[in-house]
Structures are given as C-alpha cells and as structure tokens.
C-alpha cells in the first residue's frame, strides 16, 4: 500500500534445542505494529513453554486479550505469524511435512488461477498456457466499463476456462444484486469474491438468494466465530480465509472443518 514497497512481518522463534521456526504476519501496512504485538504481548506468553504444544499455545495467545475484544486485525495477524513459526518448529522436530502432521494429503495437484487484465488476447494466451481459471477485478466507479471488460474476457475464454471476479468489498447490497444478475448472464463466472463491504455480512444471505453466481467471502475475516456466523446463515458458497490473517494454521484449520460441516467449499487465501 506504500508505493514502491511491499511490507511483511516475519516472526522467528528459537528453541533451546536449536530449532528455529519462521512465520509471517499479514502486514501490508504498518508492519511495526505487528512487531510490537509479537514482542510485547505474545513473546512473554510463549517464552519458556514447550514449542510442540502448538494449539495449547494458540489458545494462550488468543486468551490474553479476548476480554479486550482483540479478536481481529493486527492482533490475530500477529498470532498467525507466531502460530506458523510453531508449526514450522513441530515439522522440523518430527521431520515431517505439515500436511502429514495435519492428517495426510488428499491430492498431489492443486488447481491454480492466473490474474488477468482487460485484454481478451492476453486472457486466451493464459488459457493456452494451461490455466483453467482467470481472475479479474471488478471495481466501483468504472461501472459499465468494468463489466464490459469482464464480459469480453468471459467471451474470449468461453468453453475453455472460467472467470472469477474480485470486488474487494466495493458494493452496497442493492448494487451487488444488480451487478450479480449481469454476471449470471455471462454463464462462466466461477465465483464473485467479496462483493460486499466487510461490515455488511448480514447482506450476504439475500445476495446469495438473488444471484446464481457462486459467492466467495472471508478474506477479511479473522476467526472461527466470524465464519461460524457467516456459514450458519447460509450466506456464501465458498470461503477464503487468509492463513496469515486468520490466526495461522491452527485457526484456519478449524475454519476449514466448519466449512466442511456446512458443505461449503474452502479455498485458502495466502497473502
């Protein structure tokens, strides 16, 4: 968010057995805030503890500030960095990859998508390279021009690939319903990501009822309790929690289990 720079906060945890774990906090802006939280609040919780008690330590970190309402934002992003570092330590201690510690892998290959621009020819080239899904932004303000751009790319790859749309929380509910109907008409939109603002979770049930295009949300959420409410109201078809924002591996795993219980697809967002 600062022109010319990309920010991140890396967390390093050392053990008395000489194992070092690394984690990352989602910190696109103000990474020094995460550093202070890790140093001043979370570090004292972890020092002297058994690093292998990963989920026990997660609960201890989370509980220190829960009565103050620090359940999202910088605090959960900081916990995520520590949690990732602890899982790294556990993997190195057991000499096992993370997927093995989580119960095994279900697949050897994971589909990926490419970010695409306005040029239909460039979109076709990406499909020629093997991508089956392309992702475009749909912003507010450019209105019809943006929809025309998505329609042009959708037509260019029709029958060969899907198009996914990301609005980064740009629209009010009434606007989203109208635009959603236009996306429905295109026929090959794989999902519409974060159409509503993060403060308007209550609008998603109606949007999902009105629009046929699958709705994806969750990048802006930070814990299982928020996702419980989103899933319980049957608001979305896909969730995409950010591992470096939503409490790391430990909490994102719980969120994935919740999604499975509600029959909702889960696609990790890793920024």
**Any catalytic annotation for residue 7?**
no
Is 90:22 a contact under the CB 8 Å cutoff? no
C-alpha–C-alpha distance, residues 218 and 222, integer Å? 8
C-alpha–C-alpha distance, residues 38 and 58, integer Å? 13
C-alpha–C-alpha distance, residues 219 and 137, integer Å? 15
Structure tokens at 130: 């093997």
Backbone angles phi, psi at 213, to 5 degrees: -60, 130
C-alpha–C-alpha distance, residues 185 and 207, integer Å? 16
Q: Please name the residues in contact with 32: beta carbons below 8 A apart, sequence gap of 6 or more.
A: none
- End-to-end Cα distance, the chain: 13
- In the beta sheet, which residues pair with residue 164? 135, 191
DSSP code of residue 106: S
- 3-class SS at 222? coil
C-alpha–C-alpha distance, residues 154 and 256, integer Å? 30
C-alpha–C-alpha distance, residues 18 and 256, integer Å? 32
How many CA atoms, within 13 angstroms, populate the side-chain half-sphere of residue 32? 0
Cα 139–Cα 245–Cα 218 angle in degrees, nearest 5: 50
Residues acting as catalytic residues? 269
């Amino acid at each position: 968010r600062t022109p010319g720079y990309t920010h991140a906060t890396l967390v390093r945890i050392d053990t008395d057995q000489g194992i070092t774990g690394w984690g990352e906090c989602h910190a696109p802006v103000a990474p020094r805030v995460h550093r202070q939280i890790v140093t001043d609040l979370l570090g004292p919780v972890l020092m002297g503890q058994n690093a292998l008690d990963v989920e026990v330590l997660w609960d201890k970190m989370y509980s220190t500030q829960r009565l103050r309402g620090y359940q999202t934002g910088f605090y959960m992003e900081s916990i995520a960095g520590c949690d990732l570092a602890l899982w790294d330590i556990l993997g190195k201690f057991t000499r096992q990859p993370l997927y093995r510690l989580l119960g095994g892998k279900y697949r050897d290959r994971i589909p990926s998508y490419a970010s695409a621009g306005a040029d239909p020819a460039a979109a076709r080239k990406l499909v020629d390279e093997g991508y089956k899904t392309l992702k475009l932004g749909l912003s507010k303000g450019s209105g019809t021009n943006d929809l025309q751009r998505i329609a042009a790319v959708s037509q260019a790859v029709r029958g060969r690939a899907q198009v996914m749309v990301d609005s980064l929380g740009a629209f009010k509910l009434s606007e989203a319903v109208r635009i959603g109907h236009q996306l429905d008409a295109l026929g090959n939109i794989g999902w519409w990501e974060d159409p509503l603002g993060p403060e308007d979770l209550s609008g998603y049930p109606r949007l999902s009822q009105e629009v046929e295009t699958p709705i994806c949300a969750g990048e802006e959420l930070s814990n299982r309790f928020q996702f419980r409410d989103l899933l319980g109201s049957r608001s979305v078809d896909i969730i995409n929690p950010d591992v470096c924002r939503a409490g790391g591996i430990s909490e994102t795993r719980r969120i994935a289990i919740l999604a499975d219980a509600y029959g909702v697809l889960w696609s990790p967002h890793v920024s």
